[in-house]
Amino acid sequence: MNDRTCLAIVLAAGDSTRMKSSKSKVLHPIAGRPMIAHVMAAVAATGIADAALVVGRNADEVTKAASVEGLSVEAFLQTERLGTGHAVLSARDAIARGYDDILVTYGDVPLVTAAPFLAAREGLAAGNDVVVIGFETAKPTGYGRLIVEKGELLAIREEKDATDEERKITRCNSGLMAINGRKAIELLSRIGNQNAKGEYYLTDLVEIARSLGGRTSVVDAPEAELAGCNNRAELAMIERFWQERRRHELMVSGVTMIAPETVFLAYDTEIGQDALIEPNVVFGPGVTIDGGAVIHAFSHIEGAHVSAGASVGPFARLRPGADLAEGSKVGNFCEVKNADIGKGAKVNHLSYIGDASVGADANIGAGTITCNYDGVNKHHTDIGAGAFIGSNSALVAPVNIGANALVASGSVITENVPDEALALGRARQEVKPGRATVIRERNLAIKAAKKAAKDAGR
């Protein structure tokens, strides 16, 4: 197929009324990515280089979301909604450039993969003028039925026009198809609108092509892969299908998930062999987990890299820019943002490390924070290899803590600490015997007075 040129036409101009949303439905995310981007990525995976994007609502935003690597996208505005055939012809200028194949898909089928597109193009290469992508379903009601005889697709029959016998057919039309690019303008121009809605239906192409002596056929794809999205319930269903598929791919590749149904992945999440993912973990975009890492339960990770043998959580949050080296640990109720955690370093409990570098084998005590923000600008903290930061310390950036330095518990550090030094940044402790009793009695008297005043006012 490398010697055949192809144009993908992606229809994304719908008004999305059933989505009940202030934005186009194709902008709604699946696995952290607009659904239109999933479709475009599947198109790009076939090796197709050119795409015509038919847009309407939120045209600029949709066009931006549809821009994926490896695909040149040209947008065409559809100002009227006169059916699928009319929508495809909105890209007439692109079609007229003379491609061998024209592939038509929709912007709201984010589960689609490259496989049915490739199969449809193979059908064109075999001499068909129209190849429809279909599916088998146990619930065909509402779908157009594919009338096939001896391997030839004779027609697509809409349910309202089908006979009782035709309604028993379970092989249905997905709406996706491939068209002979050399005949596309002629075929599309012959579509009429003599129907109840006065619209131009792309499905008429099958009978038009056959009336001109052309061949038509069907290739099949899994029903779930062709699911479209029209409302929030279907959006949730598609998200579920996408997650199930990706989890399965990762587990087959050697990733252990104890309760996979509770793990949520982003479109670009990468997890290496022998990594362990415990229950209730959420991955946002931009995450790479190397082989052998452990992500404990209830952790949330976005824009981060976790190296081999590192451990995260439980109840940890890694924000964009977090980079954990081999054997490092970020423990329970810790947050790391834009920070490098060195090899073997430990951030074990209840700490915030932001805009920082933590050296190899350093230990960050419970409750430690890097004070990185002054209300206007962010500042960096450097913690040297082997440093020990005592619990409940505040490191006020910009500040450097030297290699093998010690910071006493409860310190507020505002100046650099040299290598091997001990830093104490806290007030000297004083003990006042009996003072606790005086303070407690005073506070109880204040409380009693308030209650008496309240009772008197009733």
Residue-wise pLDDT for 150-181, tens only, equals: 888 999 988 888 888 999 999 999 999 999 99
Residue listed under structure tokens 């430990």:
346
Residue listed under structure tokens 């039309």:
173
Task: Return phi, psi of residue 278, to 5°.
Answer: -80, 175
d(CA 198, CA 82): 8
Residue 396: pLDDT above 70? Answer: yes
CA distances for 118 relative to 46, 101, 104, 115, 128, angstroms: 6, 11, 12, 5, 14
Q: Which of 305, 349, 379, 380 is catalytic?
A: 349
Looking only at the bridges linking them, the beta strands covering 72-77 and 152-157 are: unpaired
What is the predicted pLDDT for the residue at 236?
96
Superfamily of domain 6-226: Spore Coat Polysaccharide Biosynthesis Protein SpsA; Chain A (3.90.550.10)
* Poorest-pLDDT segment among 81-85, 167-171, 252-256, 443-447: 81-85
What is the predicted pLDDT for the residue at 158?
86
d(CA 253, CA 100): 37
Q: How confident is the model at residue 313 (pLDDT cuts 50, 70, 90)?
A: very high
For the whole model, what pTM was predicted?
0.89
Residue 2: pLDDT above 80? Answer: no
Average pLDDT value over all residues in the chain: 94
* Poorest-pLDDT segment among 39-43, 76-80, 377-381: 76-80
Highest mean pLDDT among 54-58, 70-74, 306-310: 306-310
* DSSP three-state, residue 412: strand
Range(s) within the chain of domains with CATH label 2.160.10.10: 245-423
Return the percentage of the chain with pLDDT > 90, whole number. Answer: 85
- Active-site annotation holds for 349: yes
Residue-wise pLDDT for 87-113, tens only, equals: 999 999 999 999 999 999 999 999 999
Residue listed under structure tokens 């290496």:
272
Residue-wise pLDDT for 229-253, tens only, equals: 999 999 999 999 999 999 999 999 9
Name 134's bridge partners: 173, 220
d(CA 123, CA 177): 10
Residue 376: pLDDT above 70? Answer: yes
Q: How confident is the model at residue 14 (pLDDT cuts 50, 70, 90)?
A: confident
Per-residue pLDDT, averaged over 410-435, amounts to: 92
Residue 332: pLDDT above 80? Answer: yes
What is the predicted pLDDT for the residue at 426?
86
d(CA 210, CA 200): 18
Residue 1: pLDDT above 80? Answer: no
Range(s) within the chain of domains with CATH label 3.90.550.10: 6-226
Residue-wise pLDDT for 15-52, tens only, equals: 778 888 989 999 999 999 999 999 999 999 999 999 99
What is the predicted pLDDT for the residue at 457?
81
What is the predicted pLDDT for the residue at 36?
97
User: In CATH, what is the architecture of 245-423?
Assistant: 3 Solenoid (2.160)
Dihedral of CA atoms 19, 24, 28, 34 in degrees, nearest 10, equals 150
What is the predicted pLDDT for the residue at 16?
79
d(CA 173, CA 205): 13
Looking only at the bridges linking them, the beta strands covering 317-318 and 335-341 are: parallel
